[in-house]
Amino acid sequence: MRQISIVVVLILVSSVLVYFGLTSLGLLPAEASAQAETIDWLLNIELIAISFLFSIIVVPLIYSLVVFRRKPGEEGEGEDISGNTKIEIIWTLIPLLIVLGLAYLGAWSLGDALKVDPQAMVVEVTAFQWGWKFYYPEYGLTTTELHIPVDKQILFEMESQDVIHSFWVPEFRLKQDVVPGRTTEVRITPIEQGNFTLRCAELCGTSHSYMNAPVVVVSADEFENWAQEQIALIPEDTGPNADRGEILANQNGCVACHSWDGSVLVGPTWKGLFGSEVELADGTTVVADEEYIKESILEPNAKIVAGFPQNAMPQYTLSDGEVADLIEFIKTLQ
């Protein structure tokens, strides 16, 4: 009985030390959403369970190796223990109850994280190789930076233009895949103002590691002011507009593959492109006029530029006006 008491005390001491050791590492970023609070609460319970289970296995093992090792001069056989039905039942039922308890807490935590607020603000997210763009239906506004108000649930309705991506802001905790051909959703209620970073958490191609976007959480009044400022910046003219084309190029991630300064990226540079002769993969040449550039945007695999891979550029769905704006912008890069 004395040995058991010592082991029990050592297990409790070890559990406390392991738990505080794990929680002092600072592995998690700040909690910046209501969902993060629920998720971190559950994680804390799991850390307590992990610390105890680690100790209940390791402490008796080490204690037995030290205390019950063969002493110098001992040559006899150890006691033959064939089993103990009572202990076996106990160590089967207790882990089962723990697992069922954690399963219940996990289901409760998931339900709380997915709780629907009927007054949630909708933000439509489009993911593409290799960038993000955000459309605010309430304001008719599209941006490449995610601005959201604090203390208000945001419903993100997400689509991918090409491959599978994954929407993840570490401080918000929740992560959701963005799948081509369907709309996926995630609800997040930010509770801390500040600047964060949206990351793609799914390996999606050459520039996956650069597929980040700024996330700015501000007060409701600051958000409203920002939205009105952005709306005021939208050009009112209806003809081709280079400034509008530059905004479109940023929103659709064109700069990730096509440089504007002559450097070579995944795709041909746009600098000096308009009006130049372009050598194609089949050995022919073509003049980069408006028709060629329009075809390259809408049907990127129709004519492949020499030295660049096929199927590297996703097919975008753009209006004639948007294509005209992009071409007008490309004309300025001489």
Render pLDDT for 17-50 as a digit per residue (tens, 0 to 9): 999 998 888 888 889 999 998 899 999 998 998 8
Q: Which of 210, 232, 254 is the last residue of a domain?
A: 232
Q: What is the CATH number of the domain that holds 175?
A: 2.60.40.420
Q: Are 183 and 131 within one domain?
A: yes
Q: Are 91 and 157 within one domain?
A: no
Pairing relationship of beta strands 121-128 and 154-160 according to DSSP bridges = parallel
Rounded distance between C-alpha atoms, residue 101 and residue 13, angstroms: 24
Q: Are 190 and 292 within one domain?
A: no
The whole-number average pLDDT for the span 96-101 is: 89
239 or 146, greater pLDDT: 146
The whole-number average pLDDT for the span 108-121 is: 88
Confidence of residue 190 (pLDDT cuts 50, 70, 90): very high
Q: Are 256 and 319 within one domain?
A: yes
Q: What is the CATH number of the domain that holds 298?
A: 1.10.760.10
Residue 291 located in a structural domain? yes
On the question of pLDDT at 134 being above 70, the answer is yes
On the question of pLDDT at 87 being above 70, the answer is yes
Pairing relationship of beta strands 175-178 and 165-168 according to DSSP bridges = antiparallel
Q: Are 7 and 108 within one domain?
A: yes
Is 12 within 8 Å of 44 (Cβ atoms)? Answer: no
Rounded distance between C-alpha atoms, residue 26 and residue 39, angstroms: 16
Rounded distance between C-alpha atoms, residue 34 and residue 115, angstroms: 11
Question: What is residue 263's predicted lDDT score, i.e. its pLDDT?
Answer: 80
Mean pLDDT, rounded, of the chain? 85
Residue 69 located in a structural domain? no
Beta-carbon contacts of residue 38 (< 8 Å; ≥ 6 apart)? 109, 112, 113
Residue 178 located in a structural domain? yes
Confidence of residue 238 (pLDDT cuts 50, 70, 90): low
On the question of pLDDT at 158 being above 90, the answer is yes
Q: Are 248 and 160 within one domain?
A: no
Residue 73 located in a structural domain? no
Rounded distance between C-alpha atoms, residue 323 and residue 252, angstroms: 12
Range of the domain at 105: 2-64+86-113
Please name the residue that has the structure tokens 């129709």. 302
* Percent of the chain's residues with pLDDT above 90: 30
Render pLDDT for 269-283 as a digit per residue (tens, 0 to 9): 888 888 788 788 787
Confidence of residue 74 (pLDDT cuts 50, 70, 90): confident
Question: What is residue 33's predicted lDDT score, i.e. its pLDDT?
Answer: 92
Q: Are 183 and 128 within one domain?
A: yes
Residue 80 located in a structural domain? no
Say what the pTM is: 0.70
Question: What is residue 302's predicted lDDT score, i.e. its pLDDT?
Answer: 80
Q: Are 214 and 265 within one domain?
A: no
Residue 303 located in a structural domain? yes
Q: Are 12 and 39 within one domain?
A: yes
Q: Are 47 and 147 within one domain?
A: no
Q: Are 288 and 253 within one domain?
A: yes
Residue 71 located in a structural domain? no
Render pLDDT for 58-73 as a digit per residue (tens, 0 to 9): 999 998 888 888 777 7
Q: Are 13 and 107 within one domain?
A: yes
Residue 74 located in a structural domain? no
Phi, psi (deg, nearest 5) at residue 200? -90, 125
Domain count for the chain: 3
On the question of pLDDT at 186 being above 80, the answer is yes
Tell me how many degrees the CA angle 323-327-330 measures, rounded to the nearest 5.
140
On the question of pLDDT at 206 being above 80, the answer is yes
On the question of pLDDT at 296 being above 90, the answer is no
On the question of pLDDT at 165 being above 90, the answer is yes
